[in-house]
Structure 1
C-alpha cells in the first residue's frame, strides 16, 4: 500500500473473514480523498503476517478511532512524522543506509516477483493499472526470471503424464528431456 492508503485505512475496510484490506481512500497532506488512480481502488489479500499484524493493531486502536493506525496523539499517521521519528532512526539502528519509506513498496514487488508470484497479481496488489510499471521497474531485479531453459513450461504446462508415458527414445538427450534414464 502507498503511505496515504495506510494512513486512511479504516477498520470498516479490514475484512478478516474474507482476508482482505479494501483500499478505498487515501490521506495526503491531511486531506482524505479517493486513491491515486481507479486501479488503486482494490482489495488486497492479507498474507498471514499482515493479518497477524492487523489483529495485533486492533488491540491498540479499535474503539479509539475509525482509523487503523494512529500516532501518539490519536490522530491518523502523517508521512513526515513517521519518516523522521520512526523510519529513519530504525534504519540507522539496523545499520542500513537511509532510504525513502516508499521503497518498501518496491521491496514488496521485488520479493513477490522473485518468489515466483505472477506479475498480474503483484500489479493488482500494488494498484497499478497495467503491467508496464511492474515490467519496467522490477523485471531486471528478478533472479528467477533469468532462466531461459524452458523448464517452467516443461514443469507446469507440459503434462507430467506425457513424461511418464513417453516411449523409450534412442536419443540420450531426448530421454533426458522426458526424464527417462537408461535404467528406467
Structure 2
C-alpha cells in the first residue's frame, strides 16, 4: 500500500512524492509499468482508473519497444517456420535482408509509417527492381504487420494501400507447373466443374470448343473427340443483348480430331451422367436447357465468365492454406490449353503432332510456345545436373583437404 508524506495509506500503487505531487503505478497488458500524476489523491485515482480502462479497451494498443528485426524473427519463428517449406524460409530471409533492411533499417515497428514503406518501394524501383520483386517485399511486410496487429502490437498496417511504383507487366498466358496442376486437381475433385477441367487439360481444346461439345462428337470406339463447333456468348449485330452463338471453329485447322486418354474418357462419361442430373433437376424452362455436354449446374450452356469464376473458386480455396508469397495466381481457362501443350512437350511429343492436337494454323504458333517451354526445361535440366555432377561434395572434400594442408 502507498502512503502520503504524513504516512496515511492511499491505496495500492498510489504514493506522494517529496514535492507534494501524487502518482499511481500499474502494469499494462504488455507487462510494462505505467505512471499517472495529479495534484490530489482524488484526481490521481481518477486518472488511474481511466488509464487501466483504456488499456483494457484498446485492442490495438502498441508495445513501443519491439523493433523490426525482433518482430521479423518472432514472426518467422511462430508463423512461418512451422508451416512453410525450407526453400521458402530461405527466400524470406533473402528478401528481408537484401530488399528491406538496407532501405528501412531497424526502427520500432510502431514508428514505421505508410510513408516509410512507400519510400522503401520507391528506392527498390530506383535500384532497378521490377514489379514482381517489389510486390514480394510489399506482401512480406503486409503479412508481418497484419500479424502484429492480430497480436495487439500495432494499431494499423503501414503497408496497406502503398503503391508499387512500377507498372505491372501484362500477364503472360502461362502453363501450370506439374506441382500446381496436381494441387489444383486435388482441390477440384468432386466439384461440379471438375470434369470440365480434366477434359480441358487432357485435350488442349479452347474454351469455346469445350462448351460446344455434344455426345455425338465423342467417338467412344476410336477414343477420339471430333472438334466441329465453337460456342460463343456475346452480342452480335442484330442481337438485343448477349446470347449464345454456335459457330465454326476458329480456323480450318481447328476442325480436328483429338485423341482421348483414360482420364479424359472417364471425365466425359461422368459428365454425361452429371449433365442429365443437372437438366432433370433444373428450375429453368425447357427452352433454356442445353444438350451440350458441359453445362452449368442449372443445365444451361457454359460461357467463359462462368468457367473463369469456377477456376477462381478453386484457386482461392488453395490459397487459403498457402502463404501469401506462395499463392497460386488466378488463371483463365485458356491456361489448361497451354498446360496440355507443355505436358506434351515434356513427354517428348513432336511439335508437329502438338500442332495437330491444338489446331494451330501454323507450326510457328506451336513453336513459339515450344521455345518458351524449352527454355524453362533447359534451366530445370541444368538444376538437375547439380545433383548428378556432385561437385559440391568434391568442394567439401577439397575444403577439408586445404584445412589439413594449412594445418
Q: TM-score range by the shorter chain?
A: 0.7 to 0.9
* Aligned counterpart in structure 1 of residue 260 of structure 2, from 12, 23, 46: 46
2:232 to 28, 31, 36: 28
The answer to whether the 8 Å contact 2:351/2:370 transfers is no
For the residue of structure 1 that corresponds to 2:246, the secondary structure is strand
TM (norm. structure 2) is 0.34
Of the three residues 363, 366, 370, the one matched with 1:134 is 366
In 2, Cα distance between equivalents of 1:115 and 1:139: 15
Cα deviations across residues 125-180 of structure 1 (Å, max 9, x unaligned)? 11112211111122231327x99xxxxxxxxxxxxxxxxxxxxxxxxxxxxxxxxx
- 1:62 Cα shift? 5.2
Unaligned runs of 5+ in 1: 148-184
SS in 1 for 2:294: coil
Larger gyration radius, structure 1 or structure 2: 2
Shift of 1:100: 1.8
Structure 2 unaligned blocks of 5 or more: 1-204, 234-243, 280-289, 320-327, 382-407
Structure with higher RCO (Cα < 8 A, 6+ apart): 1
Q: Does 1:57 align with 2:281?
A: no
Give how far 1:16 is off.
Answer: 0.6
Separation in 1 of the partners of 2:215 and 2:292? 6
Secondary structure of 1:73's partner? coil
SS state at 2:231 partner? strand
> Counterparts of 1:2 and 1:140 in 2: how far apart (Å)?
20
Report what 2:58 is aligned to. none
- Output the CA distance in 2 between the equivalents of 1:43 and 1:93: 35
Instruction: Give the number of the structure whose residues are more often helix, by fraction.
Output: 2
2:293 counterpart residue number: 68
What SS does the aligned partner of 1:32 have? strand
Residue 125 in structure 1 maps to residue 350 in structure 2:
no
How far apart in 1 are the matches of 2:338 and 2:307?
Answer: 18
CA contact (8 A) 1:62 1:68 kept: no
Offset at residue 94 of structure 1 (A): 2.0
Aligned residue runs from structure 1 range 146-161, under 5 A: none
Task: Report the count of equivalent residues.
Answer: 146
Q: 2-side partners of 1:54 and 1:93: how far apart? A: 25
In the superposition, the TM-score normalised over structure 1's length comes to: 0.73
Question: 1:66, CA displacement in angstroms?
Answer: 2.6
Within 1, Cα distance between the matches of 2:352 and 2:305? 31
- What secondary structure sits across from 1:94 in the alignment? helix
Displacement of 1:107 after TM fit?
Answer: 1.0
Partner residue in 1 for 2:303: 78
* Conserved 8 A contact 2:230-2:248: yes
Contact 1:11 1:62 (8 Å CA) reproduced: no
* Counterpart check, 1:100 vs 2:341: no
